[in-house]
Structure 1
């Protein structure tokens, strides 16, 4: 699986160029995860080198933290059953990284934080939002 599409790369690079501006606190645009474990990474920025990501990392030990991580290193991880680190293709968030970091620290994991944030702002149900007079 391609961990970083051109569109994601562009969004991560755009965020990186805005880093340091007043009020800068983007929402994560990329979620990577271990399909056979608890490790999860949320990224907001990609450095010029095309490898170093910035975001929230949770290795599954109960202490998620903000920092830098290598896309190349994550892509080289080999897991049981021939698996590797994967990208959550359905991931989208309107919550800024600071909100994710706070929720993850309080709950001890990005996954538990995600459940809480979804309850606060659930995704719209397509069936409920469709217009009954349409079609």
Structure 2
């Protein structure tokens, strides 16, 4: 069973499939994933349950950028053999991208 793309997670994105916010200059960030043992964070604006893939603003890697990310791949990243590294911030509330105050361009 998926620990990231749970039924609750999928329900959050029912109104936000791929390309639903592509014309927005300030998209709504629906969910946040983070590396519990590192610096990477994914601010997700759209999700496709068919591909189990999200569109997100990614920070904390080589450089910050918008892009697609496979939740299947994120779920496969483990620490100490079977402890998932990537977690969902269950306390995150949807906000406009500009409200994150990341000082980055859309």
1:22, distance to aligned residue in structure 2 (A): 5.5
* TM-score when normalising by structure 1: 0.60
1:69, distance to aligned residue in structure 2 (A): 0.3
Q: How many residues get paired? A: 103
1:8, distance to aligned residue in structure 2 (A): 2.2
1:81, distance to aligned residue in structure 2 (A): 6.7
Which protein, 1 or 2, shows the higher relative CO under an 8 Å CA cutoff with sep ≥ 6? 2
> Relative to total residues, which structure has the larger helix share, 1 or 2?
1
Shift of the 87–52 alpha-carbon distance from structure 1 to 2, 3 Å rule, reads: same
Write out the 4+ residue segments of structure 1 that deviate beyond 6 Å after TM superposition: none
| Structure index of larger Rg | 1
Taking the aligned partners of 1:105 and 1:21, their CA distance within structure 2 comes to 17
Point out where structure 1 has 5 or more consecutive residues left out of the alignment.
Answer: 107-135
Shift of the 49–24 alpha-carbon distance from structure 1 to 2, 3 Å rule, reads: farther
Taking the aligned partners of 1:11 and 1:21, their CA distance within structure 2 comes to 18
Taking the aligned partners of 2:44 and 2:23, their CA distance within structure 1 comes to 20
Point out where structure 2 has 5 or more consecutive residues left out of the alignment.
Answer: none
* TM-score when normalising by structure 2: 0.74
Is the Cα contact below 8 Å between 2:21 and 2:45 reproduced in 1?
Answer: no
Is the Cα contact below 8 Å between 1:27 and 1:93 reproduced in 2?
Answer: yes
Taking the aligned partners of 1:17 and 1:36, their CA distance within structure 2 comes to 29
> Relative to total residues, which structure has the larger strand share, 1 or 2?
2
